[in-house]
Amino acid sequence: MEFSRSDSLPLTRPMTADAESAALTRLRQGDLAALDLLVLRYQVEATRAAYLITRDRAAAEDAAQTVFVRLPDRIHQYDPRRPFAPYLFRSVINEALKSAQRRERSVSLHAERAADGQTLEDLLPDWDSDPADAFDQDELRRVVWEAMGKLPPKQRAVAAMRFYLEWSEAEIAQSLAIPVGTVKWRLHAARARLQTLLAPFMNAALATWLGV
């Protein structure tokens, strides 16, 4: 099957739990048409998650596409008694993490577009702005994005999942197949580094977002 690139990604298609279960059953039975339904449901979200870690649009799309292409061969590894989304996103995030570790580079906030064609600002937090603040929303998002880019890939991955995707530490641990203690350590290190990098721009909203 063919996957669309970022300029023409389909909108996420709502799918009931029963419909998703039926599609997964069909896929396990070798019906590749069922994969189309899962791609329509999850491609945008999967690519966005990968983008937060790779910081590169093409790399994020490739990471998501790789996972979908492999899904028919690996679907029997999925336990149908468990939710499908965590299984899928664990694969996407691990693929994105490998990509980020292979090619580290900085990304300008305004040079890149989000995976669904929206501006990157749509991916980042919407903090309440105080008119007295020295930096407006766009500038604050830019400095946060640049600060995230200075984290090592493994720290960036857990930071993106915790601060942007708002996953719990347990969910992060499950997705990355690592102990919760390792997640806590990486988050602690990432938070400390971000505090240092963002100290000149720190305000109440940003401090709350970081949990400091």
Closest CA to 166 of 13, 14, 52, 47: 52
* Of the options 1.10.10.10, 1.20.810.10, 3.40.50.2300, 3.40.50.10800, the CATH number for the domain spanning 123-210: 1.10.10.10
Q: List pLDDT tens digits, range 64-92.
A: 999 999 999 999 999 988 889 888 988 99
For 109-127, what is the mean pLDDT?
Answer: 47
* Of the options 1.10.10.60, 1.10.8.10, 1.10.287.70, 1.10.1740.10, the CATH number for the domain spanning 6-102: 1.10.1740.10
Q: List pLDDT tens digits, range 46-66.
A: 998 898 888 888 999 999 999
Which DSSP category does 143 fall into? Answer: H
